[in-house]
Amino acid sequence: MKALDIPAGQGAAGKVGTRPVAVYNTGKGLTVLENICTHMKCQTQWNSAERSWDCPCHGSRYHPEGGVLQGPAKRPLPALEYHLENDEIVLEE
Ligand code: FES
């Protein structure tokens, strides 16, 4: 997944290897989250109008940087450590 493809203030859901990630460009850097809803493990989708990660399964919504905006989820999407290699996101684990 390429970092340059995500404009500042926007996010994109995708995969790094087999791992689902939710990547937000803060304008100063990227926030890379594990894209597994903490309610029942669906994958969220980026909502560009509201700038949130929205879960299609039961309506949970998350802040671009992972915090819960609306339940039923109670826990944030976890942040993942990463680095960039030729603009590709590489997870640390
Ligand atoms: S799995 Fe995401 S809201 Fe239930």
The model's pTM = 0.93
Name the residue ranges covered by the structural domains of the chain.
3-91
Measured in Å, residue 44 CA sits from the centre of ligand 1 at 8
Percent of the chain with pLDDT over 70: 100
As a 3-state breakdown, the chain gives helix, strand, coil percent values, each rounded to 5, of 5, 40, 55
Write out the two tokens for 90. 């590489």
CATH tag for 3-91 (out of 3.40.30.10, 3.40.50.300, 2.102.10.10, 1.10.10.10): 2.102.10.10
Contact, 62 vs 71, CB < 8 A? no
Pocket test for ligand 1, best of 43, 57, 61 (most atoms within 8 A of CB): 57
| pLDDT over 90 at 2, yes or no | no
| pLDDT over 80 at 3, yes or no | no
Residue with CA closest to ligand 1 atom 3: 58
pLDDT tens by residue, 23-66: 999 999 999 999 999 999 999 999 999 999 999 999 999 999 99
